[in-house]
Amino acid sequence: MTSMTAPSPSAIQKLAVALDFPSVAPAFELFERLNGAAGLFKIGPELFLQAGPDAVRRLVDRGAPVFLDMKFHDIPRTVAAAARESARMGVTVFNVHASGGAEMMRAAAEASRAVRPETKIIAVTVLTSLPTTSEEVLRLAAAAHEAGLDGVVASPREMRALRERFGPKFLLVSPAVRPAWAASTHDHQRPASPADAASAGADYIVVGRPITGDADPVAAAARVVEEIQSAL
């Protein structure tokens, strides 16, 4: 007989499932199946451009904690307007690119908080598909921190240094996570395991294809949560 420990709420809370689908039906279906089994549901450009803000609102209305991952990067006024609209949809968290600059980040945070203070705004440091250095990631994270953002997106490899430098309240979101059983690292240059990302201090661990591409996505998500839990 195999013994399975029940997943802890804190481990479940850390899993952010990337709903990267070309249409809304499978995204909603997966949300319904994983509702309560993950802490965030991430909507990126693929689904957003397909299904639009209505899909986001519908997910929010169904109680989904939504991470709107549009990575805004434009002049401050344009990003502030996009930030305002993101907050209006009631998302839990959305993001901008730290490389857009301090003024852009401050304008976005101000616009978003004026509409919905509880929506978190985080900055992408360096895309995990690109080569970079820890110094560069820390420099961009410091700019986001100074601009008053709630946290950053960074590779799991930088989590520990970011946590040490910016303290327990700075939200750390880590994509580029691959469980050992995942078929491929796909396009990530610096992947780490869910357990490594959790033990390094990530608040949210973003996993897409290892879950969405699995024949049994519910079991795959549970395995990721189990790995996260093993590190807490």
CA–CA separation, 16 and 44 (whole Å): 12
- Is 30 an interacting residue with respect to ligand C5P (CB under 6 A)? no
Residue 153 binds ligand C5P (CB under 6 A): yes
Write the DSSP string, 61-128: HTT--EEEEEEE-S-HHHHHHHHHHHHHTT-SEEEEEGGG-HHHHHHHHHHHHHH-TTSEEEEE-S-T
Measured between alpha carbons, how far apart are the two ends of the chain, in Å?
A: 25
* Binding to ligand C5P, residues 108-137 (CB under 6 A): 124, 127-128
Question: Judged by CB under 6 A, which of 76, 100, 208, 217 binds ligand C5P?
Answer: 208
Q: How far is the CB of 213 from ligand C5P (least distance, A)?
A: 8
Other CB atoms within 10 Å distance of the CB of residue 23: 12
40 belongs to the binding site for ligand C5P (CB under 6 A): no
Q: Which residue is nearest to ligand C5P (CB)?
A: 208
Site for ligand C5P in 92-111 (CB under 6 A): none
Which pair of tokens denotes residue 34?
């994983």
- Rounded distance, CA 215 to CA 232, Å? 28
Nearer to ligand C5P, 12 or 221 (CB): 221
Answer yes or no: are the C-beta atoms of 201 and 163 closer than 8 Å.
yes
- Residue 201 interacts with ligand C5P (CB under 6 A): yes or no: no
**∠ at Cα 216 (212, 220), nearest 5°?**
70
Segment lying near ligand C5P (by CB under 6 A), choices 47-55, 114-122, 200-208, 220-228: 200-208
Q: How far is the CB of 185 from ligand C5P (least distance, A)?
A: 8
Stretches 73-81, 86-94, 140-148, 202-210: which one binds ligand C5P (CB under 6 A)?
A: 202-210
Furthest CA-CA distance within the chain: 60
The site for ligand C5P (CB under 6 A) is made up of 18, 20, 44, 69, 124, 127-128, 153, 175-176, 186, 206-209
